[in-house]
């Protein structure tokens, strides 16, 4: 009897079923909605708020891409993905872009057939311990119990680090971030390891952040960035240049607030190209000429997004560090917009 | 009487394929076969296309590559240099160990709760009813999480066990102490003493799995003693049948059963190694992590509630007359239970018990909720994630679960056939 | 000696039993302390109860209902009960209850799932109580009143409320005057619920319903000269052609001409108990016909069909549900044509349906096996063919016997819907809880959401298991 419900949905969804793969850009346009793979809940990076609206550093990039492609930052559907299914979801076309604090690695690029067009956050794996443990370096963690989230690169780094330093540890594997924190706080483990940004985010949410220290060792490079499917270069370019536009906007001092003013008064040719006042930059990529302006309008430039979601003024309180613009000694460097 | 005429000469018409029951079943089966083959072909074709589109192939080579991750509970040696295949075996063993201990524990809990629920003691019967209803009607995932949260949140930290010189000077007690001086339950693991041999036999390595000869020797001695005891009892029964007097057996029996094995253990120098606080954690002894304990406790309590219901139903299914008859024959309550009620109740209890065991075995996969590295956690979790071989991993994992289930059900069905009422 | 008057002529009034043999004392002696073992058990039980209450009651009593975050909660507990006390923080539930119930379903549309639930219960009435007029009336009436109260609390607007009141009044009237007629609601419910929950154009569900109309039409037109079997086949083919090829364009055209519809809701906004009910009810409803076919197939004489059914049932029953869910997320995409891609909830529902079909098949097989052989022989003797016998004789009896089993399958399935959290859906237990805890305001809260969700699960499942026990008793008396 209830089979009909099925057929109804089937009928409805097969109509909606987007053609995946080859031309992701065309698919997104045809669908009128960007499917963005997101973390189901990592404070500061991507987590739904009380209204179910995804907010955070990664979520803002999704919205900027949606704004660039569709002209509307709200036309993005966030698909929460656990760390274990995220790449499969991307490969199978379930999402158009995966912005889920994922580390770009060689094997993910070549074995899993993904592309990481840009790095939106340079990170590294660190350790957090309770202050009263009396440990000041990760090398003193011999025999310690370490909480670790499964399905990430961190467990491989951890094994390598301890092996390299000839010390032992007991891993406590947990399913997701919130479980990891619970276990760490409850004392199931001496140390909690994940990306340093994650550690800071987690520590900020503790009732007593001053009682926890993040050890100085950064045991790995974790370049986090959006991932797209291998072989769809046009779509990769859309993601790359939307992101670059946000960086250039910061470089040129274009903010969400002063954009209209800059648009009216600026004589800088790169700014004029970026905002679509000169040339056909957007059209070259198969977008609208106002695409990058829309992207900036969505959440502001890179610096604004950073400050609003994870920066020092937020509870998470991350400093720009490596993620400062190259002009300020960081690694964020956008190719010229010409 | 020639009312019954011969059936008309069969002339085969095409419509008979549908309307003649003799042919219809063939028509249907062939149609189903064709549809099935078409369906399988369609799926295979789609899979090949999809794999090609994503630039993947099907290959199980990853099983022989380095895994690179660590597993916190290993019944056979494993390091992060071992292969994904070995990690899979570790996972299977971890699944099995929860399943087997869980089934035993659930049976004990279930039988006790089921019997107590029928008890005349008002309070105890009510408590058991509450236990059964609460556990049966709330998802098992919740119980697993609650057990884990309970163990990690309410138990003391290893450093609470620490006794420093100043504390001895000040005459203070540590915040926590070990149970019986031997078992330490901390917020991260349960540490129990380990039996250790000081003069062990050598260890053999069979297919990279170390097999302790001492253990094999012990096992052999136990088997031999049990068989010897059986023989002894048969002989005693023969004596009884001949003379009508049964010789006193209990101490001889005990001697035969336990004497040799105890002698062997003493010869090999068995002693207990107690866990001791060293550095961050307890060292020595056997450390049982909380993911395992939480899963085990939750699954056995949950399944125990279902088994309790089966046991209760089984006992209630035996008509009252049976127990009254047993008492009328002069059997004491214990023997009445053993000889009359239980054999009959078992027949009712065992079939649903089989499916409870199967459920428990399958539910071990919910260790995912507490990060327990069972088969799903290794092969279907980290290995799948690191290698990106979801097709191979899923197929292999489902196959292994299927085999485990089939083995459990065939063992239990064999047992069921053995105790089943033989109708003549 | 003559006046032997001490021989009584009247009965003495009965003595009051001694203190130990009456009232509370006797009850306690008999029920709590009848033997040494019992005394020990009682004391142990008492100790356990006292310990459990002492450990948890203060926590419950110190609970805080009104706070904006967990810090405030802890401060209030500290202020009210002193530094050593612990207290629950129910403020979380007060603030986020709607997410536990509805996920991210738009708040102004909550009336739609509530109305759907009310209609579900009403449409179940004819199945649960056959044609028992009184029971039907009581069920439908209670459900109507409760649904209306819930709807009024959600305040969807006066006009809608009046409409719903009229609707439920009509349903209650139908339940009293013509309980059998409620079956039509049951038949229409799947499409109705789909239209209510997902919204969008009304033409989609109407189009699907039209397919069934076409099936019936073709069947009745061709039956007379093609025979039952071929006519059914023709009907199915015609309906399939309609659904797969014609329907979309027709409904799109109709929607273009007369854009009738309500606000559409995406399935990724479904969560909490709404999701659990959608998956559970759809899967059990859809798996019932499949389960019946599988059960019949397993008992079939046809070798191939039997092997296939047994293989399917044993395979599905041999693997854990979580692996099936992983297949839905990870592998189903491989098995479907390269360009197709549909939503996760639907994929999960499809696979859960097949999963529960295997279990239902076993339940129904049990029901079939319970029928005396005479019933089959009687059907044969009457000259009924296979499907007639199944429809008129076998199934009505077998299904009736199987209802308790089906209900407990549903309870199991409903509890198992919590597993969808592990493939990224927002189930009430883990999905919503994780999201709630990602909020800085509520970080560090564990027990409260679990207790809240656990209590709802308990209420629903316990209610259903009681119903199934009631039914079992009722069916038993019918057979004696």
C383 touches chain B (CB under 8 A): no
Widest CA span of chain C, in angstroms? 118
What is the rounded end-to-end Cα distance, in angstroms, of chain C? 66
pLDDT of residue A15: 40
pLDDT of residue B237: 85
Binary contact (B385, A83; C-beta < 8 A): yes
Model pLDDT for residues C396-450, shown as the tens digit of each residue? 888 888 888 888 889 999 999 999 988 888 888 888 888 887 777 787 788 889 9
Over 80: is that where the pLDDT of C298 sits? yes
* C-alpha span between A137 and A134 (Å, rounded): 10
Residues of B in contact with A230 (CB under 8 A): 55
Binary contact (A88, B70; C-beta < 8 A): no
Nearest to C461 among B33, B137, B145 (CB): B137
pLDDT of residue B355: 87
How close A80 gets to chain C, by Cα (Å)? Answer: 6
For C395: left if phi > 0, alpha if psi spans -120 to 50, otherwise beta; the answer is alpha
Over 90: is that where the pLDDT of A58 sits? yes
Which of C453, C457, C446, C477 is CA-nearest to residue C88? Answer: C446
Query: With pLDDT > 90 as the criterion, what percentage of chain C qualifies?
Result: 18
- Which residue out of A186, A194, A231, A232 would a mutagenesis test of the B interface target, given it has the greatest number of B Cβ atoms within 10 Å? A186
How close B365 gets to chain A, by Cα (Å)? Answer: 13
Structural domain spans, chain A: 124-221
Chain C from 385 to 414: CB within 8 A of any B CB: 411
A131 touches chain B (CB under 8 A): no
Higher pLDDT, C458 or B175: C458
pLDDT of residue B1: 47
Query: Nearest 5°: phi and psi at C157?
Result: 120, 145
- Specify burial of residue A270 (Cβ count, 10 A radius: 0-12, 13-18, 19+): middle
* pLDDT band at A11; cut points 50, 70, 90: very low
* pLDDT band at B357; cut points 50, 70, 90: very high
Coil/strand/helix, residue A292: helix
pLDDT of residue C269: 83
pLDDT of residue A239: 94
How close B362 gets to chain A, by Cα (Å)? Answer: 19
Q: How many CB atoms lie within 10 A of CB B252?
A: 15
Which of A336, A258, A244 is CA-nearest to residue A291? Answer: A244
The rounded mean pLDDT for chain B is 84
* C-alpha span between B307 and B174 (Å, rounded): 42
How close B180 gets to chain C, by Cα (Å)? Answer: 21
| Contact by Cβ (8 Å): A270, A337 | yes
A256 touches chain B (CB under 8 A): no
* C-alpha span between B83 and B60 (Å, rounded): 12
Nearest to C440 among A17, A43, A185 (CB): A43
Query: Two tokens at A156?
Result: 């491989």
pTM of the predicted model, to two decimals? 0.86
Query: Two tokens at C129?
Result: 């109580």
Residues of C in contact with B55 (CB under 8 A): none
Angle at CA B261, nearest 5°, toward B259 and B267?
100
DSSP state of B83: B
For B390, name the nearest residue in chain C, comparing CA atoms only.
C330
Nearest to B402 among C227, C318, C458 (CB): C318
Predicted ipTM > 0.90: no
For B413: left if phi > 0, alpha if psi spans -120 to 50, otherwise beta; the answer is alpha
B20 touches chain C (CB under 8 A): no
Higher pLDDT, B356 or A16: B356
pLDDT of residue A8: 44
Residues in chain B: 424
Residues of A in contact with C341 (CB under 8 A): 17-18, 20, 92-94
Distance set, CA C360 to CA B190, B306, C186, C462 (Å): 41, 19, 20, 20
Q: How many CB atoms lie within 10 A of CB C29?
A: 13
| Contact by Cβ (8 Å): A242, A64 | yes
C418 touches chain A (CB under 8 A): no
Contacts of C among chains (3+ CB pairs under 8 A): A, B
Binary contact (C419, B145; C-beta < 8 A): no
For A178, name the nearest residue in chain C, comparing CA atoms only.
C434
Over 50: is that where the pLDDT of B284 sits? yes
How close A263 gets to chain C, by Cα (Å)? Answer: 37
pLDDT of residue C332: 85
Query: Nearest 5°: phi and psi at C86?
Result: -115, 155
pLDDT of residue C4: 61
Q: In the predicted model, what is the mean pLDDT of residues C180-206?
A: 83
C343 touches chain A (CB under 8 A): yes
Model pLDDT for residues B363-382, shown as the tens digit of each residue? 999 998 888 889 998 998 88
The DSSP result for A94-105, as a single string, is S-SEEEEEEEP-
Contacts of B among chains (3+ CB pairs under 8 A): A, C
* C-alpha span between B161 and B173 (Å, rounded): 9
SS3 sequence, C127-182?
HHCCCCHHHHHHHHHHHHHHHHHHHHHHCCCHHHHHHHHHHHHHHHHHHHHCHHHH
SS3 sequence, chain C?
CCCCCCCCCCCCCCCCCCHHHCHHHHHHHHHCCCCHHHHHHHHHHHHHHHHHHHHHHHHHHCCECCCCCHHHHHHHHHHHHCCCCCCCECHHHHHHHHHHHHECCCHHHCHHHHHHHHHHHHHHHHHHCCCCHHHHHHHHHHHHHHHHHHHHHHCCCHHHHHHHHHHHHHHHHHHHHCHHHHHHHHHHHHHHHHHHHHCEECHHHHHHHHHHHHHHHHHHHHHHHHCHHHHHHHHHHHHHHHHHHHHHHHHHHHHHHCCCEECCCCHHHECHHHHHHHHHHHHHHHHHHHHHHHHHHHCCCCHHHHHHHHHHHHHHHHCCHHHHHHHHHHHHHHHCCCCCCCCHHHHHHHHHHHHHHHHHHHHHHHHHHHCCHHHHHHHHHCCCCHHHHHHHHHHHHHHHHHHHHHHHHHHHHHHHHHHHHHHCCCCCCCHHHHHHHHCHHHCCCCHHHHHHHHHHHHHHHHHHHHHHHHHHHHHHHHHC
For A241: left if phi > 0, alpha if psi spans -120 to 50, otherwise beta; the answer is alpha
Q: In the predicted model, what is the mean pLDDT of residues A179-192?
A: 84
Nearest to C438 among A1, A41, A94 (CB): A41
Query: Two tokens at C402?
Result: 């199987």
Nearest to B43 among C304, C335, C462 (CB): C335
Residues of B in contact with A228 (CB under 8 A): none
| Contact by Cβ (8 Å): A194, A81 | no
Over 60: is that where the pLDDT of A4 sits? no
Binary contact (B370, A175; C-beta < 8 A): yes
* C-alpha span between A326 and A336 (Å, rounded): 13
CATH number of A124-221: 3.40.190.10
Residues of C in contact with B122 (CB under 8 A): 31-32
* pLDDT band at B29; cut points 50, 70, 90: confident
Angle at CA B367, nearest 5°, toward A44 and C55?
80
A154 touches chain B (CB under 8 A): no
Chain A from 146 to 175: CB within 8 A of any C CB: 175
Cα dihedral A299, A302, A304, A307 sign:
positive
Which of B99, B125, B100 is CA-nearest to residue B112? Answer: B125
Model pLDDT for residues A92-142, shown as the tens digit of each residue? 788 899 998 888 988 888 888 889 999 999 989 999 999 888 888 888 888
* C-alpha span between B396 and B402 (Å, rounded): 10
Model pLDDT for residues C60-98, shown as the tens digit of each residue? 888 888 888 888 888 888 888 777 778 888 888 888 888
Query: Nearest 5°: phi and psi at A120?
Result: -95, -10
pLDDT of residue B184: 82
* pLDDT band at B296; cut points 50, 70, 90: very high
Q: In the predicted model, what is the mean pLDDT of residues C287-295?
A: 92
Over 60: is that where the pLDDT of A273 sits? yes
Binary contact (B188, A187; C-beta < 8 A): yes
Residues of C in contact with B397 (CB under 8 A): 323
| Contact by Cβ (8 Å): C287, C354 | yes
Residues of B in contact with C319 (CB under 8 A): 362, 398, 401-402, 405
* C-alpha span between B340 and A94 (Å, rounded): 62
pLDDT of residue A14: 42
Binary contact (B377, A173; C-beta < 8 A): yes
Q: Helix B390-419 crosses helix B342-363 at what angle (to 10 degrees)?
A: 180
Q: In the predicted model, what is the mean pLDDT of residues A59-76?
A: 93
Over 60: is that where the pLDDT of B8 sits? no
Nearest to A190 among B56, B280, B290 (CB): B280
Nearest to A11 among C212, C247, C281 (CB): C247
pLDDT of residue C461: 93
| Contact by Cβ (8 Å): B94, B75 | yes
How close C423 gets to chain A, by Cα (Å)? Answer: 7
- Specify burial of residue C24 (Cβ count, 10 A radius: 0-12, 13-18, 19+): exposed
For chain C, list the domains and their CATH numbers: 36-88 (no CATH), 267-479 (1.10.3720.10)
Task: Tell me the HSE value of B416 on the side-chain side, using a 13 A CA sphere.
Answer: 15
Over 80: is that where the pLDDT of A161 sits? yes
Residues of A in contact with B50 (CB under 8 A): 92
For chain B, list the domains and their CATH numbers: 100-188+284-419 (1.10.3720.10)
Binary contact (A7, C211; C-beta < 8 A): yes
Higher pLDDT, B24 or B254: B254
* C-alpha span between C343 and C424 (Å, rounded): 12
Contacts of A among chains (3+ CB pairs under 8 A): B, C
Q: In the predicted model, what is the mean pLDDT of residues B21-36?
A: 84
């Amino acid at each position: 009897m209830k089979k009909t419900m099925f057929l109804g949905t089937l009928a409805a969804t097969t109509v909606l079923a987007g053609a995946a793969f080859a031309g992701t850009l065309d698919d997104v346009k045809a669908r009128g909605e960007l499917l963005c793979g997101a973390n189901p809940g990592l404070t500061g990076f991507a987590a739904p708020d009380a209204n179910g609206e995804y907010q955070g550093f990664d979520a803002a990039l999704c919205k900027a891409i949606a704004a660039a492609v569709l002209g509307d930052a709200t036309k993005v559907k966030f698909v929460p993905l656990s760390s274990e299914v995220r790449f499969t979801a991307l490969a199978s076309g379930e999402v158009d872009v995966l912005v889920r604090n994922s580390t770009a690695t060689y094997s993910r690029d070549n074995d899993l057939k993904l592309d990481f067009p840009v790095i939106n956050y340079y990170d590294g794996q660190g350790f957090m311990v309770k202050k009263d443990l009396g440990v000041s370096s990760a090398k003193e963690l011999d025999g310690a119990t370490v909480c670790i989230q499964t399905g990430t690169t961190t467990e491989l780094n951890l094994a390598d680090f301890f092996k390299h330093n000839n010390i032992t540890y007991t891993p406590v594997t947990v399913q997701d971030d919130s479980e990891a924190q619970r276990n760490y706080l409850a004392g199931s483990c001496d140390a909690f390891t994940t990306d340093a940004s994650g550690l800071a985010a987690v520590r900020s949410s503790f009732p007593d952040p001053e009682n926890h220290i993040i050890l100085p060792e950064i045991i790995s490079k974790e370049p986090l960035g959006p991932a797209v499917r291998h072989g769809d270069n046009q779509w990769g370019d859309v993601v790359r240049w939307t992101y670059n536009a946000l960086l250039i906007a910061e470089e040129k001092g274009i903010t969400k607030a002063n954009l209209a003013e800059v648009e009216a008064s600026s004589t800088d040719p790169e700014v004029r190209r970026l905002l679509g006042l000169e040339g056909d930059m957007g059209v070259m990529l198969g977008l609208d000429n106002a695409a990058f302006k829309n992207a900036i309008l969505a959440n502001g430039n890179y610096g604004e997004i950073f400050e609003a979601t994870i920066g020092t003024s937020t509870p998470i309180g991350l400093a720009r560090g490596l993620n400062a613009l190259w002009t300020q000694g960081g690694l964020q460097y956008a190719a010229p917009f010409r | 009487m020639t009312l019954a005429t011969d059936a008309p000469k069969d002339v085969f018409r095409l419509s008979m394929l549908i309307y003649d029951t003799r042919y219809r079943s063939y028509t249907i089966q062939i149609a189903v076969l064709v549809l099935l083959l078409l369906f399988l072909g369609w799926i295979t074709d789609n899979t090949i296309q999809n794999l090609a589109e994503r630039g993947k192939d099907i290959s199980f080579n990853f099983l022989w590559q380095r895994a690179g991750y660590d597993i916190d509970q290993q019944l056979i040696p494993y390091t992060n240099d071992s292969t994904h295949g070995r990690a899979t075996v570790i996972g299977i063993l971890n699944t099995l160990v929860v399943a087997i201990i869980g089934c035993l524990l659930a049976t004990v809990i279930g039988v006790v709760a089921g019997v107590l629920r029928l008890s005349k003691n008002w309070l105890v019967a009510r408590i058991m009813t509450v236990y059964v209803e609460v556990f049966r009607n709330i998802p098992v995932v919740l119980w697993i999480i609650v057990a884990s949260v309970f163990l990690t949140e309410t138990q003391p930290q290893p450093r609470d066990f620490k006794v420093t010189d100043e504390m001895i000077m000040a005459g203070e007690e540590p915040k926590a102490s070990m149970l019986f001086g031997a078992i330490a339950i901390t917020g991260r693991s349960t540490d129990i003493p380990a039996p250790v041999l000081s003069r062990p036999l050598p260890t053999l390595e069979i297919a990279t799995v170390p097999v302790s000869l001492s253990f094999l020797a012990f096992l052999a001695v136990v088997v031999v003693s049990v068989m010897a005891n059986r023989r002894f009892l048969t002989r005693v029964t023969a004596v009884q049948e001949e003379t009508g007097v049964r010789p006193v057996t209990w101490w001889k029996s005990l001697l035969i059963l336990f004497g040799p094995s105890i002698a062997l253990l003493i010869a090999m120098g068995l002693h207990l190694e107690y866990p001791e606080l060293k550095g961050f954690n307890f060292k020595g002894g056997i450390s049982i992590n909380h993911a395992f304990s939480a899963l085990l406790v939750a699954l056995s309590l949950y399944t125990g509630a279902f088994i309790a219901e089966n046991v209760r139903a089984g006992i209630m299914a035996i008509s009252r007359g049976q127990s009254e008859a047993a008492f009328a024959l002069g059997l004491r309550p214990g023997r009445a239970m053993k000889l009359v009620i239980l054999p009959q109740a078992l027949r009712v209890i065992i079939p649903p018990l089989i499916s409870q065991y199967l459920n428990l075995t399958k539910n071990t996969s919910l260790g995912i909720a507490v990060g327990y590295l069972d088969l799903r956690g290794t092969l279907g979790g980290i290995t799948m994630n690191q290698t990106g071989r979801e097709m191979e991993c899923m197929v292999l994992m489902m196959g292994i679960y299927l085999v485990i289930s089939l083995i459990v059900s065939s063992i239990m069905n064999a047992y069921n056939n053995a105790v089943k009422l033989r109708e003549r | 000696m003559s006046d032997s008057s001490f021989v009584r002529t009247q009965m003495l009034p009965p003595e009051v039993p001694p203190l130990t043999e009456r009232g509370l004392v006797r009850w306690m002696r008999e029920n709590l302390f009848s033997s040494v073992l019992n005394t020990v058990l009682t004391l142990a039980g008492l100790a356990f109860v006292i310990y459990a209450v002492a450990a948890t009651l203060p926590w419950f009593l110190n609970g805080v209902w009104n706070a904006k975050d967990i810090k405030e909660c802890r401060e209030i507990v500290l202020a009210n009960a002193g530094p050593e006390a612990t207290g629950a923080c129910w403020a979380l539930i007060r603030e986020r209850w709607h997410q536990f119930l509805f996920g991210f379903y738009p708040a102004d549309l909550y009336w739609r799932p509530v109305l759907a639930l009310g209609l579900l219960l009403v449409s179940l009435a004819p199945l649960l109580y056959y044609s028992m007029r009184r029971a039907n009336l009581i069920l439908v009436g209670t459900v109507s009143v409760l649904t209306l109260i819930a709807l009024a609390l959600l305040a969807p607007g006066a006009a809608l409320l009046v409409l719903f009141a009229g609707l439920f009044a009509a349903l209650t009237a139908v339940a009293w005057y013509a309980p059998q007629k409620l079956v039509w609601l049951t038949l229409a419910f799947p499409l109705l619920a789909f239209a209510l929950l997902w919204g969008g154009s009304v033409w989609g569900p109407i189009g699907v319903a039209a397919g069934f109309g076409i099936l019936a039409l073709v069947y009745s037109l061709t039956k007379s000269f093609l025979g039952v079997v071929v006519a059914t086949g023709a009907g199915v083919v015609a309906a399939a052609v309609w659904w797969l090829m014609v329907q979309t364009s027709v409904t799109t055209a109709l929607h273009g001409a007369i854009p009738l519809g309500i606000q559409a809701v995406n399935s990724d906004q479904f969560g909490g108990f709404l999701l659990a009910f959608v998956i559970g009810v759809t899967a059990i409803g859809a798996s019932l016909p499949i389960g019946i076919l599988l059960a019949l197939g397993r008992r079939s004489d046809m070798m191939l069909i039997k092997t296939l059914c047994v293989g399917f049932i044993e395979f599905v029953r041999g693997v854990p549900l979580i692996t099936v869910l992983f297949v839905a997320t990870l592998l189903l995409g491989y098995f479907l044509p390269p360009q197709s891609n549909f939503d996760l909830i639907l994929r999960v529902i499809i696979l859960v349906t097949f999963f529960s079909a295997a279990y239902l098949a076993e339940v129904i097989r049990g029901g079939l096996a319970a029928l005396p052989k005479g019933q089959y022989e009687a059907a044969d003797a009457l000259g009924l063919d296979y499907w007639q016998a199944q429809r008129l004789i076998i199934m009505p009896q077998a299904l009736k016997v199987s209802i308790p089993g089906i209900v407990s399958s549903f309870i199991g399935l409903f509890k198992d819907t919590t597993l969808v959290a592990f493939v990224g859906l927002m189930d009430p237990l883990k999905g919503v809880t994780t999201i709630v805890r990602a909020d800085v305001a509520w970080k560090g809260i564990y027990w409260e959401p679990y207790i809240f969700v656990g209590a709802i699960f308990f209420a629903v499942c316990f209610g259903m298991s009681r119903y199934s026990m009631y039914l079992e008793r009722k069916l038993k008396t019918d057979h004696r």
